[in-house]
Amino acid sequence: MANLKEIRNRITSVSSTMQITSAMKMVSAAKLKKAQDAITAMRPYAEKLTELLQSLSATLEGDAGGKFTNQREIKKVLVVAITSNRGLCGAFNTNVIKASKSRAVFYAGKQVDIFAIGKKGNDVLCKVLTIVDNQSSIFDSLTFDNVAAIAEVLTQKFVDGEYDKIELVYNQFKNAATQIVQTEQFLPLAPVQSDFNIAPADYIFEPSKEEIVLTLIPKSLKMQLYKAIRDSYASEHGARMTAMHKATDNATELRNQLKLTYNKARQAAITNEILEIVGGAEALNG
């Protein structure tokens, strides 16, 4: 059995760890509320923008999306892996990294590169795949304008023919305990499936429908990327809050076990001292 000093040191160490994990849990809980409100507020706008784009595209003939819907033979694929800059958030980053690697397996025989958003994904994926860019600093100032600049870079890579397909891999926020790994096609735009059960609204468009669609597509792409990063950001704090909650519970349980062990060891030491005193007294009397 370990001596009392070793057990006391372990109790102190576990108590310090428990304070750290508890503090991280509270910080993530506070950040999660803000991030959750942000993604919840923007989802209706993003969905309505997509709905409007689909409604307009369904009424057009031919290739309404132009260069954004250009379906080419897939030879080079760019996977945008959205992770976090920090760890201690359970399987949050691991799930995205695994999904990104699986895309390389899916496109076996083709060139698959990674566009990293988040330090953790960059550090791991750079060992197995080619990283063309790393935008980890986006989380220092997560605004639509900063994300729009990244979306423009990705769009230009597709338009210039550097890549034939671009996909987003990220964690979609469901709740604090659940994050769902999503793989979305960013470019080219998927063909729009019109709903024939809904009669198209009779609008007068100015300028033409084609011009409106070509204006909405870049905005829709920027919104799609911004929504994905916002989803990932909220998921990160939800995953970290859950992980730190479990870590705090485990540290509390371990501390209680150590205290019980310490008390048993102290009681055994006291009993031995009493026996030694009694034995010494008996020896003197003898």
Tell me how crowded residue 68 is: count the other CB atoms within 10 A of its CB.
Answer: 19
Q: Is 46 helix (H, G, I), strand (E, B) or coil?
A: helix
Helix (H) or strand (E) holding 65: none
What is the rounded CA–CA span in Å between residue 172 and residue 39?
10
Q: Give yes or no: 89 in active site.
A: yes
Strand arrangement, sheet containing 178-187: 130-134, 111-117, 76-82, 165-175, 178-187
CB 150 within 8 A of CB 117: yes
How far CA 39 is from CA of 144, 155, 169, 234, in Å, comes to 12, 23, 17, 8
Which two structure tokens, joined as six digits, stand for 111? 């060139």
Catalytic residue among 79, 89, 216, 225: 89
Contact 31, 240 (CB under 8 A): no
Q: Nearest Cα to 121, choosing from 105, 109, 138?
A: 138
Label the pairing between strands 76-82 and 111-117: parallel
Q: Name the H helices within 110-208.
A: 119-125, 144-159
Give the residue numbers annotated as catalytic, written as ranges.
Answer: 89
